[in-house]
Every structure is written in structure tokens, then in C-alpha cells.
Chains A and B, each alone.
Chain A
């Protein structure tokens, strides 16, 4: 195994001290992509992801507060009512009032948290008024992107995106190559980089329709705030709108065979004019390739 091992163990053991610092750092520099020592979900780069992050924080705090109360009482009990301190056991074992209280209060808390969750979910489900459609097809172990239409015009652009070559070399069993050495610019991009990213225009509501050609996959870019399964023979739809140009990374999130860990997703969001220029420069792919995606499900067996 390896030379990087020992120092990293030492670092790992020194972790607690670093946590707080790292937590703060994570919010700043690489808001959209994972950073070492990252402790929490980031707010991401879309309205959806911000909403989701908020919901997550609400739930987290509810749990933390209830936890402090419950565990607090428990610890008080454990220290006050010890036999070794001469505590004598009481005999009571019932209280209708208490029991009613701790049935009703949680119900109220739950209603309180279901409400914002419902609001966000309804918003997320609304794919109407999207300005372009991208069809995503999962294969073992790559993604196909088809720009079905852009402001009402069909484009014919369609290509396959898979794990970039360097990561692919490094990830082979016993390659001896150092994953830390794989970089895309500043970012240590090991297993989170592709040969051809999905390019999207900033500020445009994009509808995605997802399916798969062999087994179930799931398309997930954390910075966008959702993941969605790509199911052979079925279409799922969802949407996003990213205002901030940038590179956002994700991975397949449904076990899809041996290389499930090696089918990353990269979304490159660029300003609208730049996108249009890019789109115009893409040669429409031969129709055959598109047709292949429709024949999704040969009977098994």
C-alpha cells in the first residue's frame, strides 16, 4: 500500500482540532464541490439547493435540540439517581399527563417541519415553463446527453460523457498512481472529472428527462440540489436553473454494476451567449445514436 498512509493517519487523528476551521473553510472557497474535512451539506448554486439546504438545517437543529433535551434529562437521571449515591427507587410508573404531552408535542413539531418540506417539494416538481430540454441516458458506465430542444428549436446535439482518462488509469487496481495527483485546475478532481462535460446556459430553466439503457442509474450533482433515478424504459423529469457560471460535479448515485463508482457527472454552466456559441459549434450526432436510446429494453433473459 503506501507511503501516503502514515502521515494521513496522523492527520486523521488530529482531526478534531481541524474540524471547526475546515467547516468554515468549506463554506467559502469550493462551495459547490466537495472539500477535505467537509462536515455539512452546502447551500449549492440553485434556488432548489438553497431551499433543500435550509430544510436540512431546520431538521438538523430540531433533532439537535430534542437530542439535547432528551439526553440531558437522561444524563441528569444517570448522575442523580445512582444507587451508589444512596438513591432509593420510587414506585410510580405512570402519568397520563406526561404521556399525553410527549405524544402531542412531537406531533406539533412534525407538522411544523412537514409544512416547509411540502412547499419545497411542490416547487421542485414543477417543470413547466422550462426553456430547454436535455435528455439524459444512463449506460453502464457513462452518460449520454441530448440537447432535445433549446427555446423551442430542436438541436440534434448529443454526445457521451464518461470518466476522464487520467482518473481511469489511476483507479485501476494496484496502479500505484497517486489519486491526489489528479487535478483539474486547482481542484483535486480524482473520479470527479469527465472527458466531455454537460454544458448548460446560466439563468435558463432547463428541463431534464432521464432514462437508462441497461440498468437503473441516478443522476446527481449535489450543487443543483437533487438526484433523480434514470430507469430503463421509463422517463423521469426534473429541472434546474443555475445562475452562477461554474463547474459543478457529481456522480451516479444508484448501484449500477462494477463501475458504478466510476461514472461521474460534470456540469459546466456558462453565460448564455457563450453557450449558444458552443451549441452552434457542436456537430449534430448521427440519428442512429439517438435511436439507440429508444430501444431501451430488450427483454431480459
Chain B
């Protein structure tokens, strides 16, 4: 019937339950959420290494005072690219990859709602990053104005400006489509009986994150479009002589930028909220409060943007308002932290690698949150702003926050993906090596900032030498530790002899643990029957 009417020009795969044969058919034309999830995750890991290598250049140049390795222009390129790649190429795609893999499994759907658009969301990314990275080899070199792209500086770039802006447009299109897909999947593809308030927290966190993405990525697109026309078509948005204002860009950018940082942490909250109950063998404390907390954080994220701009000379009332609003975010975030800790209380805990990363997340993210709160205090921010104190803050929330959560999630779900257990021993070695080195790397940066070292400089006064050297040593160590991560993954996927069970973890609850490991190419071809008592949060009625 349909087959004739819908004649397609590629090799039709007649076996509905196996993956398509051939590289092109399976990966390039992919519509399977698991395959696309894998593509995202592999891409993210690759970009993590590319962005990390740039961080290594930064840390090597900062190893000691004096310029030893690179020209200042190149240093600025590294800083800018490092951030863009880590944010748009590593952390965001990693979360989308996890979402792609797990959301359909967790809501009992056969696939994402719009599988072909899903493919496009992914396949835009390699092109976008090719475009971005190619600027490094262009005459006039890559972008050097920092990932925040503030004009007028960002418009001084040579040819790269247009390429970078278009690369950002492509990433934005990809993110928006990915987010639309996730929302449609969650709202439309849930198995019958899986009410919204029975969904796993990870799904909830992604639902809200996807909303944030759709709301702010277009604003970023608008901001960089104005940058483009200011540079190439003579508009005056950011030029005071024409009646505009350079600071206007910062307002628009941070209206995107602040929600963006929560885009990079809310799914992390979700992952950790899955892992801690599993290994504490106790239901998540305050399930509904967790959801309200995520929603409040998302709401607040829209009205605090100018805390990145306390030194631009806003009117007093503006500074005060943005200070108060920013401080408020500590309240819902605190609720989350307290709920995680209370989940552990009177649990029955074991400490496998995912749990170790999740616990480190709770502590180290909170430390990053504390420094965030300090940054919110305007008069104090006059001192902290644009120093390494800020760098320390955001690496705590991003690396030991977002990246640690991604790693926790990877260890947690890896057996479900590949059907084998990873080496617990090497997982733990990876964890301890990372958690120690990352603190050697970023904790001293607080001291540097407080002592007066500005960020985005390739060289510094000798008073800052010692802590910079410690930080660099921690950096190389942390970077090297990530090679272990890759080793563990490759071993688990290709060499591990230890088969994973369906449930994998003793305390695991939820639909994803009711399908075999590895999860077959197609799951839930017919909707599963929901048994509340088997769901992670289904029996939480209050």
C-alpha cells in the first residue's frame, strides 16, 4: 500500500526492528532518536577536546609571566573560540544528545516527534563549526573580541566577523529546531497515563530548557544580525554618533546570554535529580518543589540579564533592580540543593561513578553558585567584574556543574546505550583524577581575581605568577584526565565483557530501565502500559 505511493529513492529498510545498513543510510539519513543522540554525543565530545585544546593553549601561555608561546592576537582568538566551542559545540549538543537518547525512552515514545527535523538539527552543527573554525585560517584571523562579541571591538575583526555571525545563526537554527522537537516530543508523545507530573525530572528540566532556547536563541540571532549590518551595511545600532549605543548590544546579548547559562545548567539539574535517588535508593525529595524551582529559575533568568553589565554605567535604579532580582535566584536553586541533600538522608547509598560525579556536582556547583551570589552584589562586582574571580565562578558552574553532570549522565546511561558495563575501576580513577585536578585548576583563580588579575589577558604581573602556575598544572592534569574518560567509553562500547542487565542499577526506576540493554533500535513501538509504582516519580502524589 503505502510503499508504492511513497516510493523513496534510497534503500528502503524492510526490517523495522534493526538499524539501517550502511553508513549513509544509518547515520547521515538518520531519523532514529538513538542514532541521532549518539551523533550529538560523539560530536560534543569531539568539540570538548577541540575547545579543551584551546584552553590548554591559554593555560600554557599563562603558565608563567612573560609571553612565551603565542601572540596576544592569537591568545584572544583562543579565548573567544574556546568559549564559543565549549558552549555551543560541547555542552549544548551534549545535553541535546542526552535528551535525544533518553527523553523518548523516559516518556515511552517510539522516537522524537519530528525525526527528520531532528536529523537536520544535528547535521547543521558540523557545518556551523567548520565555518567557525575555518576563520582561524583566514586572512585577518579569527574572532578576537571574546565570546560576548561586544561592539565596537568585535567589528574590528577582519573577514572573520561575517563567518562567525553566520556560524552563530546556523547554531541558533539548529538549537531552535532541536528545542521544538523536544517540546513536541514531551507534550505529544508521552505514553498514555504518563501525566506531566509523573514525568522524570530530567524530562521536566528539558521541557523548560527547550522553552528557554526557543525564547532566546532568536534574540541572539537578532543581536548578531545587527552587528552584521553595523559592520557591513552602515547601520548605527551600536554607534552613539548615529543615535545608537554600544551598550545596547550588551543588553540584547545578555537578554539571551543569561538564560543561556541556565540552558546549560537546568538539564544538569535534571540528570543529577535522576542519579541521586537511584544510588540513594530513595525517591527524590520534593519532586514537585523541584519542578517549581526549575520553572522559577527559568522565569527569573529573563529578568536579571544586566548583572553582567554592572560597570557600564546604568542608572542607580537599574543597578539596584538587577542586583535584587539576581539574588533571588539563590532561593529556588537553594531548594534544589537542599532537596538533593535530603534525598540522600536516610537513603541506602552506594558510590558508583555516576553517583560520584553527581555528588561532586552538588558540592562544586554550589560553590560556583556562591561566587555567583557574590558577583550579584553590585558594589562588590565593581571589584570582581572582568577578573579571574568571574572566570573561577563560571568554570565552577560550567565545568564542575554542566560538564560533570554530563559525565555523570554518560556513566549512568552508558550501559543502557551499549549494553556493556564500563570499567568501574577506571571510572573511579577518572573521577578522582578529575575532581582533584579541576579544583587545582579553578580554585586558585578566585585568589587571582581577588588580588586584581583581569581576565582575557595573555600576560600578567609577577605577583600573579604562582597561582597561575598552579592553575595551569591543574589544567593540564584535568585535560589529561579526560583521556581516561575516552578510554573508559571505548572500552565499554567495544571491549567490555560484562553485559549490562535491563535495570543496570539496583535502585533505578523509570521506563528507560524496562527495555533491554542495549536499548534496541526501536523501542516502545506500541505504547507501554504505565505502572505508577514502577515509575521514578509516579507514586509521588502529593
A178 touches B66 (CB 8 A): yes
A-B contact count, CB below 8 Å? 345
A174 touches B68 (CB 8 A): yes
Greatest chain B CB density within 10 A among A89, A189, A298 is at A89
A56 touches B383 (CB 8 A): yes
Chain A contacts with B in 57-96, Cβ cutoff 8 A: 59-60, 63, 66-67, 70-71, 73-74, 77-78, 81-84, 87-95
A60 touches B313 (CB 8 A): no
A216 to B385, CA, bound (A): 14
A24 at the interface (CB under 8 A from B): no
Q: A59-B377, A299-B239 are in contact. Are A40 and B349 (CB under 8 A)?
A: no
B313 touches A12 (CB 8 A): no
Partner of B380, one of A8, A59, A66, A189: A59
User: What string of 1s and 0s marks CB contacts (under 8 Å) between B474-516 and chain A?
Assistant: 0000000000000000000000000000000001000000000
Q: Which of A153-161, A197-205, A219-227, A276-284 participates in binding chain B? A: A219-227
B12 at the interface (CB under 8 A from A): no
User: Which residue on B lies nearest to A211, using beta carbons?
Assistant: B240
A39 at the interface (CB under 8 A from B): yes
A23 to B66, CA, bound (A): 25
B473 touches A9 (CB 8 A): yes
Interface residues on B, range: 35 or more
A246 to B146, CA, bound (A): 35
Q: How far is the CB of B60 from chain A (nearest CB, A)?
A: 9
Greatest chain A CB density within 10 A among B72, B232, B351 is at B72
A233 touches B347 (CB 8 A): no
Q: Which residues of A contact B46 (CB under 8 A)?
A: none
A41 touches B68 (CB 8 A): no
A267 at the interface (CB under 8 A from B): no
A-to-B contact residues, CB < 8 Å: 1-2, 4-5, 8-9, 11-12, 15, 26, 33-41, 48, 51-52, 55-56, 59-60, 63, 66-67, 70-71, 73-74, 77-78, 81-84, 87-95, 98-99, 102-103, 106-107, 110, 113-114, 117-118, 120-122, 124-125, 170-175, 177-180, 188-192, 214-216, 218, 220, 222, 225-229, 231-234, 236-237, 250-262, 296-301
B-to-A contact residues, CB < 8 Å: 64-73, 76, 144-146, 150-153, 155-156, 230-234, 236, 238-242, 245-247, 280-287, 289, 311-313, 316, 319-320, 323-324, 327-328, 330-331, 334-335, 337-339, 341-351, 359, 362-363, 366-367, 370-371, 373-374, 377-380, 382-383, 385-387, 447, 450-454, 456-467, 469-470, 473, 507, 540, 542
24 A-B interface contacts by CB (under 8 A): A2-B64, A4-B64, A8-B465, A36-B465, A59-B380, A63-B370, A73-B341, A78-B351, A83-B281, A83-B350, A89-B281, A98-B338, A106-B334, A124-B382, A125-B319, A171-B67, A174-B67, A180-B65, A214-B152, A215-B152, A231-B312, A233-B239, A233-B241, A296-B241
